[in-house]
Amino acid sequence: MEVLARLAAAAADPAEAKNIAAAGSAGFAYGLAAIGPGIGIGIIFGNAIEAMARQPEAAGMVRTTMFLGIAFTEALALIGFVVFILLKYA
């Protein structure tokens, strides 16, 4: 109800409407930025587990590269997060 009340108030005040639209857009962009890395991490994990199942003796090497791959993929989400923070609060 509070959201509806704010939306109704925003309709009367263009500045408030702009703020709400900016907040919604920033949140939407952050959500989109988190989807890609989520898919990427899933692909990395799936392939790493397949590789470890095929060659258990190489599990250490696979785990090392998998960890780095996940961290690199996560950087995309962090970039989206930082852009969101800067757009929303800076």
Partner 1 sequence: MTSDQPSPFTTGLSGPAPEMSVSRDLVKRGLLVLPLLCLVAGVIWGMNGAYSCAFAVALVLLNFLLAALIMAWTAPISLALMMGASLFGYLARLGLIFLAVLVVKDFSWVSLQALGCTIIVTHLGLLFWELKYISASLAFPGLKPGKQESSPVQP
Q: Which residues bind partner 1 (CB under 8 A)?
A: 34, 37-38, 41-42, 45-46, 49, 52-53, 59-61, 63-65, 67-68, 70-72, 74-75, 77-79, 81-83, 85-86, 89-90
Q: Using CA atoms of 84, 86, 88, 90 in order, give the dihedral in degrees to the nearest 10.
A: 170
Question: Is residue 34 within 8 Å of residue 77, measured between CB atoms?
Answer: yes
Minimum Å gap between C-beta 19 and partner 1 is 16
Minimum Å gap between C-beta 22 and partner 1 is 15
Minimum Å gap between C-beta 20 and partner 1 is 18
- What's the rounded Cα separation, in Å, for the pair 77 and 75? 5
